[in-house]
Structure 1
């Protein structure tokens, strides 16, 4: 029987502000591990290059929960505690980026002019992924400062930076939802096949789940280090772990590889053009005709 040591929540060496549940940590580690394995199998089966972004998010979630399990057994280990916290805080950004990349491919695949709201599919993907990276860097900087070994002032500063990053992420999501709605309206006006509807509804659901998780984090940290949410474990599993697991599970069920089939399901590869005369290449002269 595994024995969990419950330390004083106000102990500066303690990774938790409550007595953590070992079975819950094991359960969610297994759940995230299973969805990760399924995503890996599906990526191999459908052969979609951009799926690595979703897989990376699933791996970070799984790694974060495994490290959390180890942190429950070793509540004073900074290595387990900080690493787990960073992976769990940052993993949803990978899933967010996956949705941006997926929508750009929907636009490229389904819409004849390959643009929505005047934005081309390739530019849509590039712009929102760059915005996601900006949010990622802010959250990583703030999250790394929320460390029990740091002073209360440093932790509070890290919380403010992290909240700024996660608030920025939600702002980008709201703008992105507008484009998703525009795409939805455009597809309805085109008519034809409705194969796009279920994965699009899965995208709406994923964005809602990520938003629930962001709101939870904003409320959690709004009262500083010690708040009603940070002092209890249930909100973490209900409003952080469960929404992210469901967001990954949705794409196991409604996998985009089932409808993104054919040459237009991926952006065309850029071919390197070699100019004549470069790298020692001479222009080809016409073959002389044989003498009569």
Structure 2
């Protein structure tokens, strides 16, 4: 009789534990309505962005990736030849590094488009595409400092030496590089939602810092512009008659394009990381435009 009671008690206990487990499973399922599922890869390994095994937010167009790889390859080659011909590697090295990283990013994007289940290629392409423009910004600052040194008699703007202007902005760019680089790693495919959210916040902070430094550099450039025009009116001798205005106009244009890119990044990460949160995330043309 005692044995029967113990057996009945054990069965009731087991049933109770099973009910608790069932209730926990129901609660977990209800609290995670957006839980992803693994989908069988299609052509080039493509799966919908909401899938567990998705590495891209859309089906990457191979032809576009190849086109931009070729374009950046041509641009890098031209600038490399120019730097060698004019012996200006000390001035052009940040631009060459930025172009090399952009070229590598699109080359990896091409291989990633052909094998969209390759997470390492998707991660490397993302990281390089995010931090490569920082090197282009460094070139802006080096170029601005060089222009102040060459074209202004006392080599100063706002009473600051041109070389120090460049050095200060380059040091600030290192901060931006670290912020955006760490954010890109956190945003990489395969990371948890919490890490990606942290990465988005860090990325927005890095982009905001980058834009703030660009605005300050534009103010320095405008001040240089004013001084250069005044010196030209005074018929200051060479080198003021060199085509500084064309170089400065190119600098203004590049800063404006970089600003558009930063605005895009802020909108992209402020709107959410999931495809359903923002149309910017799911549109491939946005990536290539900005």
Match of 2:226 in 1: 185
Shift of 1:6: 2.7
Query: Residues of 1 paired with 2:226 and 2:125: CA distance?
Result: 41
Are 2:271 and 1:223 aligned?
yes
Gaps of 5+ in 2: 1-42, 236-240
Q: Which residue of 1 is the match for residue 253 of structure 2?
A: 205
Q: Which of 134, 142, 154 pairs up with 2:175?
A: 134
d(CA) in 2 for partners of 1:211, 1:231:
22
**Relative to structure 2, which stretch is displaced further, 125-134 or 224-233?**
224-233
Residues 5-84 of structure 1 aligned to structure 2 (within 5 Å): 5-48=45-88, 49-84=90-125
CA contact (8 A) 2:126 2:188 kept: no
Q: Secondary structure at the match of 1:184?
A: helix
Deviation at residue 147 of structure 1 after TM alignment: 1.7
Q: What is the CA–CA distance in structure 2 between the aligned matches of 1:102 and 1:206, rounded to whole Å?
A: 12
Q: Higher relative contact order by CA 8 Å / sep ≥ 6: 1 or 2?
A: 1
State how far apart, in whole Å, the 1-side matches of 2:221 and 2:242 are: 16
Q: CA deviation at 1:194?
A: 5.3
Answering whether residue 133 of structure 2 is matched by residue 85 of structure 1, we say no
CA contact (8 A) 1:116 1:182 kept: yes
For 1:204 and 1:175, locate their aligned partners in 2 and report how far apart those are by CA, in whole Å: 13
More helix by share: 2
Kept in 1: contact 2:46–2:54 (CA 8 A): no
Secondary structure in 1 aligned to 2:154? coil
1:25-77: per-residue Cα shift (whole Å, max 9, x none)?
00001000100000110010010122111000000000000001111111121
Aligned length: 237
Match in the other structure for 2:44: 4
Q: CA RMSD in A?
A: 1.0
For residue 12 of structure 1, report the CA deviation from its aligned partner. Answer: 2.7
Correspondence 1:256-271 to 2 at 5 A: none
Unaligned runs of 5+ in 1: 240-292
